[in-house]
Amino acid sequence: MDEITLIFEAMAGPLPDWHALERHITWLNVAAGGEVFALGQAAPHVYVVTKGLLKLHHDDENGRERIKSFAVEGGIVASISALQPHGSASFSASALEDTRLAKIPYTALEKMADTHLAWGRLLRAVLMGYAAQKEQREQGFLMQSAAQRYAVQMQSQPELAARIIQKDFAAYLGVTPVGLSRIASRIAKISDD
């Protein structure tokens, strides 16, 4: 429980009445390659990554994977559409490493937010963080070349790039693995000059 407390309270400050939420939390251990939830499934939960790495992705009709984001330790994951009544996940979440997650029913978090202002601040902080991340991602695809997206990613999260395989990094950037290799070579050559 201490891991979640640290993550949540870093976002919103002290949170009262933890015992009321604690009984709703389920701990999951997902092996590398395992699925947390799949596109179209009911997934009315918020997942907190306390160890490991998740890939959040869409698969197109040809089986090609489109990676929307990754979640590392401290990351909070949920499909907004799955949190709606009778909703379902709009993407899939898979473990790239052995991963430990806290699975929290969204309705339990809503109840905490309805009862305590501090928990409402937490939900607002989580949603604002998600919205900001989504805006940055959209801006990257609309305003930057693949080489620029690569450079930004390598500068902002080099440790993430080191943890994911080239195929996944390429899918995240919206290029082929060969295209990623060419971009990395060009940037390395420019850095050497």
Here the CATH number for the domain that contains residue 13 is 2.60.120.10
- Supply the pLDDT for residue 193: 62
Per-residue confidence band for 59, with pLDDT thresholds at 50, 70 and 90: confident
pLDDT at 170 over 90: yes
Q: Which of 123, 143, 163 finishes a domain?
A: 143
CA-wise closest residue to 70 among 193, 143, 163: 163
Q: Across all residues in the chain, what is the average pLDDT?
A: 93
CA atoms of 67 and 136, how far apart (whole Å): 15
Per-residue confidence band for 87, with pLDDT thresholds at 50, 70 and 90: very high
Same domain, residue pair 102 and 183 = no
Same domain, residue pair 114 and 148 = no
Same domain, residue pair 46 and 76 = yes
Same domain, residue pair 187 and 127 = no
How close are the terminal C-alpha atoms of the chain, in Å? 50
Same domain, residue pair 124 and 158 = no
For residue 97, CA distances in Å to 72, 91, 190 come to 10, 19, 33
- Supply the pLDDT for residue 1: 57
- What angle in degrees, to the nearest 10, is found between the helix axes of 117-143 and 2-12? 80
Q: Which domain holds residue 58?
A: 2-143
State the total domains in the chain. 2
What pLDDT, in 10s, does the model give residues 124-168?
999 999 999 999 999 999 999 999 999 899 889 889 989 999 999
| Average pLDDT of the residues in 7-32 | 96
Full 3-state SS string of the chain:
CHHHHHHHHHHHCCCCCHHHHHCCCEEEEECCCCEEECCCCCCCEEEEEEECCEEEEEECCCCCEEEEEEECCCCEECCHHHHCCCCCCCCEEEECCCEEEEEEEHHHHHHHHHHCHHHHHHHHHHHHHHHHHHHHHHHHHHHCCHHHHHHHHHHHCHHHHHHCCHHHHHHHHCCCHHHHHHHHHHHHHHHHC
Per-residue confidence band for 118, with pLDDT thresholds at 50, 70 and 90: very high
- Supply the pLDDT for residue 187: 81
